[in-house]
Each structure stands twice: as structure tokens, then as C-alpha cells.
Structure 1
Amino acid sequence: MVPQRLWTKDFIGISLCNFFLFLAFYFLLVTLPVYALKDMGATAGQAGLLTTVFLLAAILIRPIAGQWLERTSTRLVLIFSLALFTLPTFLYFLADSMPIMFTVRFLQGLGFGMTTTVAGAIVSNIIPKERRGEGMGYYVMAANLAMVLGPFLGLTIMQNLGSSAMFVTNVILAIGGMIAGLSLKLPKETKEILGPISLHPSGMFERSSVPISFIAAFLGLSYAGVLSFVSVYAESLDLIAVSSYFFVVYAAILLLSRPFTGRWFDHYGSNVIVVPCVVIFAIGMFILSMTTTPLMFLLSALLIGLGWGTLFSTFQTIAIQDAPSTKRGLAIATYLSIFDFGVGVGSFVVGIVIAGIGFQSFYGYSTLYILVGLGLYWFFYGRKIENRMTEQVAEK
């Protein structure tokens, strides 16, 4: 049997849309706090709230966006969400006070949350079922690449061309995502007639996706300590010269490994990917805690990238595969909302813990914490999948 095509025009289009969306997100993630501090006279707390307000809006809107997808045209939701993400990029030029800036960030956060939800639902329907692990891996990799390029591009433009050029570039990136999204040829749909959007938890979350979402959030707390503090840690070790290469190595190993890990998921199930990748993630954190040289620092980046980078897309695939096709949008919303909430809270908690015990102890203890996460995965999923695979082999 010849496998169905993965790299269709629509798959490339939605992946590019995802890439531009996250590129614009990471572009402002590192530059906007600096702009607020230097050009708007904001306090450090206000600068930090710019990210919190954005992510809070995304978390709040996703369950609603997931339900909206069940009730109306996917293309209509996509157009509305892309517009809601793009239009606020023009308002940054007018934001001359912190209250206005918070308002603009909240509005764009709503657009970000809606667009990531609808794009995730679209890609899950575009990818052939037998290549879902592979396809979702490539789709998520677009966001991983944006995580590397966004901060580099943002800081380079801001330092060399100024804040006006920074905001112009942000507009261009958002429009790029809109063009890619509007290029999709989505099939006509017949939506089931449902009642009004529910604000009850049972209607706002896809039940089958909740356990794996919490496991992802649990493990993501350790990664939050890397994402938020690895550059500060590198500076404390006098490794600032190589700190900028951490996420470059992270992205490079994802590019090299993605063609294999996604296919292995599709052929052998999630356990073959999750179990070794959790262990690799834990080893990477242990090496990071023991780092004294540039080589050890970059080796930890390679292992953390291979481990956590693969786990995130794998967990997202698991979150949608047990959900009914009509509930995939809600499943994506459930996964991303719980994960983002966990990482958002985790970043705050990690900051307090690091202040108390130091970087090396935190990364060292994270090794054990991650292995606890492996136990949770095995209890809720791994043993069931292992039994299912054994039964399938016995039937053959």
C-alpha cells in the first residue's frame, strides 16, 4: 500500500502559517519588554506582564475557539482569528502608554490563541491518518524553528534599526501568516447543529485529551526553567559567548531527527518515542546541571532538544488521536490551554525555586522530576498502549 502524500500544498501552507505566527510571537517576546523598559519607562514588573497578558488571553479564548469550530465554518474561524492576530500589530505604533500596550497585547493574544487552535485542527485533518505522528512532528517543528529565529531576528533589528523597524517587521510577519493561511483550500463542511457555546468545563475541554495535556504541562515545567533562565545560567558560568547557540543546537537536532521520530511513532506507537525521549530529556538536564565547559553546555542543548522537542509534538499527536474528528479543534484547544497554563505558572514557580536553591540544584533535581513524569505517562498511557500492541501482535 502506497502511503498517502504528506507534503501537499495545504500542509505546506498551514505549516508556513504556523511558522509566521510563532515567528511574530517570539519576535516580540524578547523585544517588547526591552522597548517598554527603555522607551516607555515601564517597570520590570510591567515589562514582564506584557507576556503574561498575551498568554492569559490565549489561554482564555482557546476553549471557546474550539467550540466555535464545532459550530461554524473552519475557514470563517480561520479568517477571523488571523485578522484578530494581524490587526493589533498596527496598533503597536499608537501604544504610547502601558495601559494601551496591555490592551493591544491582550487583543493579539486572543488572536494568537484562536489561530493556534484552528490551525491545529486544520492540520490534524489534512495529515493522512497513517502519517499523523510524522506530519504533526513537522508541523510543530515550524514553531521550534521560529523559537530560534524570532529572538535573533527581533534583537538584531531592534539593536541596528530601532523600534520603528521592529514594529514594521512584526506587521510583515503577521501578514505573511495571514497570506499562508488564506491560501488553504478547505473542503466544504456540514456542521452539526449544536446549542450555544458552553462555559461549563465539560463543554470547554475535550475529556480524552485532558490526561496527556496535564502530563505535557507537568514535564513542560522543567523546560520552562530552560526557556526562561538558561541564558542567565550561562552568564553565571561565564559561558555567555555560547549561550546564543543553545537554541540553534536545539533546533538543528530537531531538524535532523524529525524524519525518523515521526515515522517511528506511526509504525510502532507512542511508547517507542516517549520512553527514550523522557530519559534523554532527563540526561540533558543532568548534564546542564553539571556544565562547566561550552561543550557540555551545547551537549545538554542537543539532548534537551531531542528529548523535549520530540515529546511536545508527540504529546500533541496523542491529544488529538483519541478525539472524534469533530472534536479535534477542542482537543487542540484543551492541549494548548493546559500546557500554556502549566508553563506560565511553572515559570513563576521555577523563578522562586531557583532564587532559593540556585541554578545547578534546580536543573539537577529536574532530572528526578522528569523521571516522575515518565511514571505518570506510563500509568495513564504507556501500559495501556503496550497491552494494545501486544494484543495486535497476538491477533496477527
Structure 2
Amino acid sequence: MTNKLQRKFRLGLIVNPLAGLGGTVGLKGSDGQDTAELALQKGAKPLANERIKIALKEVSDYYQNLEVFTVSGDMGESTCNALGIPCHIVHSPVVNHNGATSFEDTESAARIMSELNLDLLLFAGGDGTARNICASVDNTTVLGVPAGCKIHSGVYAITPKAAGRIVKMLVAGELVSLTDADVMDIDETLFRQGIVKAKRYGELQIPAELRYVQNVKMGGKESDELVLQDIAAHVIEEMEEDELYVMGSGSTVAFIMEELGCDNTLLGVDVLLDQQVVASDVTAAQLLDIVAGKRAKLVITLIGGQGHIFGRGNQQLSPQLIKEIGRDNIIVVATKTKLQALEGRPLIADTGDVELDKMLSGPITVVTGYHDQVIYPVGYEEL
């Protein structure tokens, strides 16, 4: 009797190597060749391949069970080579003079892979990449590894490590249900003007592991102005002289700035000293220079419906900056309504530095009103 070889898990892999470039240098996105090239000129470092490596390392015990189909160069092949994973090249991108690829390469590769009877198409990018995948595949299960500045779509895992855990479950043969999730994106031009205008572009089938897959972002400003006034009053009262305050993005932080009478970059990061703006819409590098050796606090809020406090729309807050400021000097502000909407799920720190994410985990104080605070957990994917 002849033994039949067990079929390997057929994994498609597409990396958008330009994803997230604009975040650390304050461009609030990286859609389009011009923006990506500008980000590189400003010193941005590509991180998408590093994030896909974090995901795939979770599956290291099962590499021999994988049959990987990917794109040449930095769109997948280089990551496979770095991890020692054999792969089939199904598409070779046309690169420009700077070696950059384009969205057409993502779409071409996805179309080819949709015909390969994949068990899962794993991709790294942001909402623009999700749109490209959505426009190109049919009846293919996908999962996104978050690597972009904008992550409004519900097709992404909450972190790269969480994505890897889902892949591991699938490769190991665990029972995982499937569901449809919305693909959302915003207009980057309006985004840079402080206007969030999101649009639904379709849906994709994803693994329904809700512990590891993020919700679609909640849009719009907090409606309860009185609660925001209370939060602002508490933070302003606690502000100390001769201490820098790094003000993160988001509408709750923006309300504090409004109460101070300060101009605010809604979707960027500003710095205050003695309740006056001393730097606006700063980059990651500028922030490090500003706070180096000085007393500083960091005021942040969470993304409604998702719970991220780092790694979504505030990549200017680099791991180096967070370490420089210190966990004890992080002020998290949020309404109780936002916290209740998480339905018990922890806050998420996805800084790109695994050890820092672990250090940030555990109970943290959240300002929810005037002299009103609650203790809420920051998770470390031990879910």
C-alpha cells in the first residue's frame, strides 16, 4: 500500500514594502509614489518586512508544512529567504529608479494567487494595500498584517504577532471559522488637512478569530462634550511647569488642546511647554531631539472600537521616544463609553518593539473625567 504525502498548507504572501513609510516622518500616509519617495528622502525606514517576519516567526515550528507563493524581492521573497522558508515566485515587480514597487504589483500578484487554490493569503500593508487585495481576489481567505499608517479596515490582525498566531492555528489544523470583514480607506489628502473621510470599498473573507482580529474603526468625534470637558480639566490641572507635554493624535486629545486655546494637529503630534505650543506636527526624529534629557509626559488616547494606544495613526511616537519618556509618564485619556465599547478586550500597544510592548502591558490608569480615573489592562497578546 502506497503512503500518500500530506498536502502542505498553501500560503500566499504579499508585502507592500512602502507601507507605513509616511508615519514616522509626519506624512500621515504613504499612498502614491511621490509620497513614498518623499518619506524616504526624509529618512523613513521601511518596516513592513520586519513586521511580516514577526508574524511568520510564530509559525516557525510548521515551516516544513508550508508551501509558500510570493513575489520577488522585498514584496515577499526577501523575507522568506531571511527566515529560511522555501517559496515559489509567482510575480516579479517592475521597480522604479529608487527600487520602489507600485500598487499594480500588489494587484497583479493577488490576481495570480487567487487562482492558486490558496488556504490563506497573508499580506502586510495598510488600508491602501487592503483595497488592492480586495480589488483583485475572489473567494480567497485573506489576513492582513498591520504595517501601514492607516488601519481602518477590519481585515487586519491586531498586531503582527497576533496574525502569526492565527496562521499557526490554521496550519495546525485547528477549527477556525471564517467571516466577512469590511475594507475601508480614507482620503489621504483630506487626512493631512485634519479631515477623516472613510469609505467602504468592499469586503474580504478572513479567519473569524475575534481575539486577534481588530474591529473596524469607529469614526467621528466623541459626542458627549461635557465628559471631554471634564477630562480636559483634569489633565490641564495636573500639568506642571517646565515640563514638556507630547500631545498625541485623536479627537479626545484635540479637545484638551482646544480647552487650552492651542492650535492642534488633529492627526499629528504637537508639543507643549507651560501650556503653550512649542512644536507642531512633529516627526519621530524631531520628537526625540525635543525631549532628549528633559522632563516630559505623553498624552494619548485609544482608537475607538480597536483599543490601540500605540501603532495606529501615531507612528511618530517611536519606541525610542516611549522609552525616553517612560511608562509612568504616559497619560491615557478616554471616555468610559469608549472603554465599554471594547467589551473587556485589553488596550493594545503595537509599537513594533516586542520587548517594549511587553513592558507596556499590565494595568494602566486611564483618565475618564475630572478627578475620575479607572484602571484598565494593556494586553500583551497573551489572550
Q: TM-score, normalised by structure 1?
A: 0.23
Relative contact order, CA 8 A, sep 6+: which one is greater?
Answer: 1
